[in-house]
A = this chain, B = another copy of it.
Amino acid sequence: MQNPESPKYQQQKRSAIRAAAAVFARKGFHGASTTDIATELGIKQGSLYYYFKSKEEALAEVCLYGIRDYVQRMEEIARSEQPFEARLLATVTSHLSSYREKNEALKVHNDERLYLPEIKRIKLKQLGSQYRERLEGIFEDAVASGALREGMDCHFAAQSVIGMCNAWGELIVRDPELDVFDVIRKVTDLLLNGFTPASAPDSQTS
């Protein structure tokens, strides 16, 4: 009867992943005990091993859960035929929404994935690289189409977008009051135009 590994199981497993994500986000991988996770889920410590072979495996699953959709969405953005500004906005929106929307798992991926042994990190590395490469591609397209200046460092640009989004993502996770859409708008504007008033007719420094 475990052919489709019962939907009930799948559902509870999902809850287990979310519980683990919440606890890892709060206490870090090493700071969290399996008792913490089990309690969060409402079961006893030993029972957790019905869902995870080990604590480490739980971390691996949380990380994967945290970036899967997120990479998926980037794939779609990269495929879409939109002008550069729209794609950048979509990227920032997708990235920051992930933090509010569904889970603390993305934070866990960012902060704790390095504690996984190399072998369990391969898949995550692939996904992360895929994300970065697609984003770099967006910048390269923009250079090709003349939307961005020739000779710009697309690798640097992509890393900067990711870094900025993750920085704000952490703040979003930590402060539930923050207006995510306001942040999205401002971050995108900053990345596009910088602090200095690009359009203003009289730009006098000091």
Check if A151 sits within 8 Å of B204, measured CB to CB. yes
A28 to chain B, nearest CB (A): 6
A190 to chain B, nearest CB (A): 6
Find the B residue at minimum CB distance from A32. Answer: B30
A159 interface contact, C-beta 8 A: yes
Q: When chains A and B are docked, how far (Å) is the Cα of A21 from the Cα of B134? A: 35
Contacts of A167 in B (CB 8 A): 159-160, 162-164, 166-167
A144 to chain B, nearest CB (A): 11
Check if B84 sits within 8 Å of A149, measured CB to CB. no
Contacts of A151 in B (CB 8 A): 204, 206
Stretch from A3-11, A93-101, A121-129, A193-201 contacting the other chain? A193-201
Q: Which of B28, B145, B206 contacts A147 (CB 8 A)?
A: B206
Q: Which of B149, B157, B195 contacts A192 (CB 8 A)?
A: B195
Interface residues of A in 144-158 (CB under 8 A from B): 145-149, 151-153, 156-157
Copies of this chain held together in the complex: 2
Residue-by-residue, is A163-174 near B (CB-CB < 8 Å gives 1, otherwise 0)?
Answer: 110111001000
A186 interface contact, C-beta 8 A: yes
Contacts of A27 in B (CB 8 A): 30, 115
Contacts of A115 in B (CB 8 A): 27-28, 31
Q: When chains A and B are docked, how far (Å) is the Cα of A153 from the Cα of B185? A: 12
Contacts of A203 in B (CB 8 A): 199
- Known pairs A149-B197, A190-B194, A194-B194. 20 more at Cβ < 8 A? A27-B30, A28-B115, A30-B30, A83-B205, A84-B205, A145-B206, A146-B204, A147-B196, A147-B205, A149-B202, A159-B171, A160-B167, A160-B187, A162-B167, A163-B168, A163-B171, A193-B193, A193-B198, A194-B198, A199-B203
> A residues near B, CB below 8 A?
27-31, 83-85, 88, 111, 115, 139, 142, 145-149, 151-153, 156-157, 159-160, 162-164, 166-168, 171, 183, 186-187, 190-200, 202-206
